[in-house]
């Protein structure tokens, strides 16, 4: 019974983290759309986007601990 409760709480924590990640990705997407980038430079920005996401994901555990 205790194991089931622990598993359930871990699952809820996972859903919370996943929700935060989704919100971060949506926020990043909105910020990227608002950036005044010339049309020629936009493909470069799209290539750099996975790198930006990796940097965000590396910083995320520290930010989640603060919350």
Q: What is the structure's pLDDT at 48?
A: 59
Domain locations in the chain as residue ranges: 2-66
pLDDT digits (tens, 9 = 90+) for 11-46: 887 877 777 778 778 777 777 777 665 555 555 555
Of 55 and 44, which is predicted with more confidence? 55
pLDDT of residue 30: 76
C-alpha distances (whole Å) from 22 to each of 3, 48, 59 are: 28, 19, 15
**From CA 37, how far away is CA 51, in angstroms rounded?**
18
């Amino acid at each position: 019974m205790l194991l089931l409760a622990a598993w359930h709480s871990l699952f809820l924590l996972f859903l919370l983290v996943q929700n935060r990640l989704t919100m971060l990705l949506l926020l990043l997407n909105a910020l990227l759309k608002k950036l005044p980038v010339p049309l020629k430079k936009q493909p470069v920005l799209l290539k750099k986007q996975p790198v930006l996401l990796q940097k965000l994901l590396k910083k995320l555990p520290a930010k989640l601990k603060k919350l």
